[in-house]
Amino acid sequence: MKRTLTAMLAALAFATPVAADTYPSDTIHLVVPWRAGGGTDTIARGFAAALEEQIDQAVVVDNLTGGVGDRAHKHVIESDPDGLQILFNGSSDMNSVTLFRGTDYDYSDFDCIGGVYDTPTWILSHKDRGITSVAELLAAAKADPQGTTIGVGSIGSTHFVLAKVLLGNNDADARIIAFDGGGPLKKAILANQITAGVIHSPVLLDAVKSGDVVVVGTGGSLENIAYEPVRGIETLKGHNVDVDIGVVRGLYVPKGTPEEIRSAAEALAEKAAKSDSFKAFGMNFGFSPVWMPGAEFCDMMAAENAAYKDIKAKYID
């Protein structure tokens, strides 16, 4: 009897945590590495509501901040591979953090579920600064490097990469100020505490519409943004930045999550991404959502990782 019980316990220990046909069997946690109020957090909450419509379980957003993403990333990597702890983060945010901070993990420690929201990174400035173009920002930096401040979400973030590439390629310098995520950075831009802020669009779009904040430039085309007046804003390619800089928000689970669970999670994520409610959220936030299947999303992550390695070697090391 003892042997039989032991064998049963051993079998249970190695069994798939959640059967695909019953997935999800409990609350799904979308783990966001940044504070509440930033762009990734806002999109995660919009997606959580759309995902919850597809299932009979709750979907909650957990903001696990700390270590510029380390806490959240490691939490998901070390979690049970049952599809209930899902990282929700931006592609370039993950790649830049792991590359520029030398972490002991990278994107390959995750399996991709899919990408759901694609936006370029943009540069914003308070209207009272009087800076309306990239040329004016660079001129300010060259004239007064110590007095010119550029806010970013964190050191090693995509925001940081854009700022370093722009300044380095144009023989300019400025004080780069790192905030603890997009939420605090938003507040600094609105309060006119910095010369300019680099953040993922369409964050602060309402302030842009009201005229309180000016879009100075963008790391990629804004042709698909819902607010037509800024669609023609110049990209950084006119200022010696020959790579698009933006972010695809998506979902990741621990490497080795059973294929049945990944497939079930991907199918639900696709339904949520294509739902009317998430489309309405996306257009209200600023861009129409996208759907990028898991394998395609992982391929994109790998290509982006290679591009960021090149940027690191050229502009930051």
Q: What residues does each domain of the chain span?
A: 2-119+246-316, 120-239
Q: Mention every residue, 6+ apart, whose C-beta is less than 8 A from residue 207.
A: 189, 190, 213
250: enclosing H helix or E strand: strand 246-254
Task: Retrieve residue 55's tokens.
Answer: 């299932």
Tokens encoding 254: 């621990």
Rounded-to-5 percentages of helix, strand, coil across the chain: 45, 20, 35
Q: Do the Cβ atoms of 114 and 297 come closer than 8 Å?
A: yes
Here the tokens at position 195 are 């010369």
Cite the DSSP H helix spans in 101-181.
134-143, 158-168
Alpha helices by DSSP H, listed for the chain, are: 2-13, 39-52, 70-77, 91-100, 134-143, 158-168, 182-190, 205-210, 259-273, 276-285, 294-311
Report the alpha-carbon distance of residue 22 to residue 40 in Å, rounded. Answer: 29
- The yes-or-no answer to whether 2-119+246-316 and 120-239 have a common fold is yes
Cα 247 to Cα 121: distance, rounded to the nearest angstrom: 7
pLDDT at 14: 44
Range 2-119+246-316: architecture per CATH: 3-Layer(aba) Sandwich (3.40)
Residue-wise pLDDT for 298-307, tens only, equals 999 999 888 8
**Among 8-17, 79-88, 142-151, 158-167, the least confident range:** 8-17
Rg from Cα positions in the chain: 21
pLDDT band at 91 (very low <50, low <70, confident <90, very high): very high
Shortest CA distance to 298 belongs to which of 244, 243, 248? 248
| Placement of tokens 């059973």 in the chain | 258
Per-residue pLDDT of 2-32, as tens digits, reads: 334 443 444 444 444 445 578 999 999 999 9
The tokens for 76 are 């998901």
- Could you tell me the CA-to-CA distances from 203 to 219, 282, 307 in Å, in that order? 14, 12, 24
- The CATH code for residues 120-239 is 3.40.190.10
Separation CA 315–CA 317 (nearest Å): 6
| Model pLDDT, residue 2 | 35
C-alpha span between 207 and 122 (Å, rounded) = 14
Nearest-angstrom CA–CA distance, 317 and 302? 21
Token pair listed for 158: 């995509």
pLDDT tens string 278-300: 999 999 999 999 999 999 999 99
- Residues 68/155, Cβ–Cβ less than 8 Å: yes
Convert the pLDDT of each residue in 233-275 to its tens digit: 999 998 988 888 999 999 999 999 999 999 999 999 999 999 9
Q: For the chain, give the number of residues.
A: 317
**Residues whose CB falls within 8 Å of the CB of residue 305, separated by 6 or more in sequence, listed in order:** 95, 99, 106, 107
CA distance 278 to 289: 7
Q: Mean pLDDT, to the nearest integer, of 101-105? A: 85
